[in-house]
Structure 1
Amino acid sequence: MSSLLPWRRSARVAAVALAGVVLVTLSACGDSSSDASTASTSESAAAGAFPATVATKFGDVTIDAKPERVVALGWSDAETALALGVQPVGASDWLGFGGEGVGPWAEGKYTTAPTIIKTLEPEYEKIAALKPDLILDVKSSGDEERYATLSKIAPTVGIPADADAYLTPWRDQTTMIATALGEKEKGDELIAQTEALYKKYADENPEFAGKTITVGSKTSEGWGAYVEGSGRVAFAESLGFKNNPTIQAQAKAGEFSVSVSEENLKMLDADLVTMSPIYIEAKEISDNALFKAVPAVKAGHAVVLDDQNISQAFATESPLSIGYALENVVPLWKAALAG
Structure 2
Amino acid sequence: MRRLREAIGLIAIAGAAALLLSGCAGGAAPAASGSATADAAFPVTIPSALGNATIDKKPTRIATWGWGATDAVLALGIVPVAIPSDDYSGGADKMPPWISDAVKKLGGPTPQILDSSAAEISVEELLKANPDVLLAPYSGITQKEYDAVTGAGIPVVAYPDAPWSTPWRDVITITGTALGMKTQAAAVLKRLDTLVSDAAAAHPEFRGTSIAYVDDDVDTFYMYLPADPRVEILEDLGFTTPRSVTDLDTKEGTFYTTVSHENLDRIDAQVIFTQAEQQSTLDEFLSSPRGQLIPAVKKGAVAAMVGAENVAAVSPTALTLPWALPTIVEKLAKATAIAKG
TM-score, normalised via structure 2 length: 0.82
Alignment of 1:105-124 (within 5 A): 105-110=98-103, 111-119=108-116, 120-124=119-123
- Following TM superposition, by how much is the alpha carbon of 1:304 offset from its aligned partner in structure 2, in angstroms? 2.4
1:149 is displaced (CA, Å) by: 3.3
One-letter code aligned to 1:190: V
| 2:22 maps to 1:15 | yes
- The one-letter amino acid of 2:235's match is E
Deviates more, 1:77-86 or 1:57-66: 57-66
Does the 8 Å contact 2:212/2:241 carry over to 1?
A: yes
Match of 1:297, SS state, is: helix
Displacement of 1:142: 5.8
The residue that corresponds to 2:301 in the other structure is 301
Instruction: State the Cα distance separating 1:12 from its structure 2 match.
Output: 7.4
Q: Any conservation in 2 of the 1:79–1:102 contact (CA below 8 Å)?
A: no
**Structure 1 residue 334 and structure 2 residue 340: aligned?**
no
Name the counterpart of 2:76. 84
Deviations 1:291-322 (A, max 9, x none): 1231111112112222444333212x112111
Measured after TM superposition, the shift of residue 267 of structure 1 is: 4.3
Do the aligned partners of residues 204 and 183 (structure 1) sit closer, same or farther apart at CA in structure 2, a change above 3 Å counting?
same
2:163 alignment partner in structure 1: 165
Contact 2:18 2:26 in 1 (8 A): no
Alignment root-mean-square deviation, CA: 3.0
Q: In the TM superposition, what are the counterparts of 1:110-259 in structure 2 within 5 Å?
A: 110=103, 111-119=108-116, 120-141=119-140, 143-153=142-152, 154-161=154-161, 164-219=162-217, 222-249=220-247, 250=249, 252=251, 255-259=254-258
Q: CA deviation at 1:13?
A: 7.7
CA contact (8 A) 1:100 1:114 kept: no
Alpha-carbon distance change, 219 to 124 in structure 1, aligned in 2, over 3 angstroms: farther
Supply the AA of the counterpart residue of 2:287. D
Secondary structure in 2 matching 1:281? helix
Alpha-carbon distance between aligned partners in 1 of 2:91 and 2:176, rounded to the nearest angstrom: 25
Identity of aligned residues (%): 27
Q: CA deviation at 1:219?
A: 3.6
Aligned residues: 320
Matches of 1:41 and 1:177, distance apart in 2: 17
> 1:187 and 1:114 mapped to 2: Cα distance?
21
Q: CA, structure 1 residues 217+118, in 2 after alignment: closer, same or farther (shift >3 Å)?
A: farther
Amino acid at match of 2:120: E
Is contact 2:89–2:309 with CA below 8 Å preserved after alignment? no
Query: How much does 1:224 deviate?
Result: 0.8
Answer yes or no: is the 8 Å Cα contact 2:197–2:237 preserved in 1. Answer: yes
Q: Which amino acid aligns with 1:304?
A: A
- Residues 46, 252 of structure 1: CA spacing in aligned structure 2 closer, same or farther, 3 A cutoff? farther
Task: Say if 2:274 is the partner of 1:275.
Answer: yes
How far apart, CA to CA, are the structure 2 residues paired with 1:208 and 1:116?
A: 40
- Equivalent residue of 1:56, what SS? coil
2: CA distance between counterparts of 1:61 and 1:282?
A: 44
AA of the residue aligned to 1:230: D
Q: What CA distance in whole angstroms lies between the structure 1 residues aligned with 2:259 and 2:28?
A: 42
Q: 1:100 to 1:62 in 2, by over 3 A?
A: farther
What TM-score do the two structures reach when normalised by structure 1? 0.82
Partners of 2:37 and 2:25 in 1: CA distance: 20
Name the CA shift for 1:282/1:115 in 2 (closer, same or farther; >3 Å): farther
Q: 1:214 to 1:177 in 2, by over 3 A?
A: same
Distance 1:322 1:118 in 2: 25
Judge conservation of contact 1:139–1:173 (CA < 8 Å) in 2: yes
CA separation of 1:109 and 1:184: change in aligned 2, threshold 3 A: same
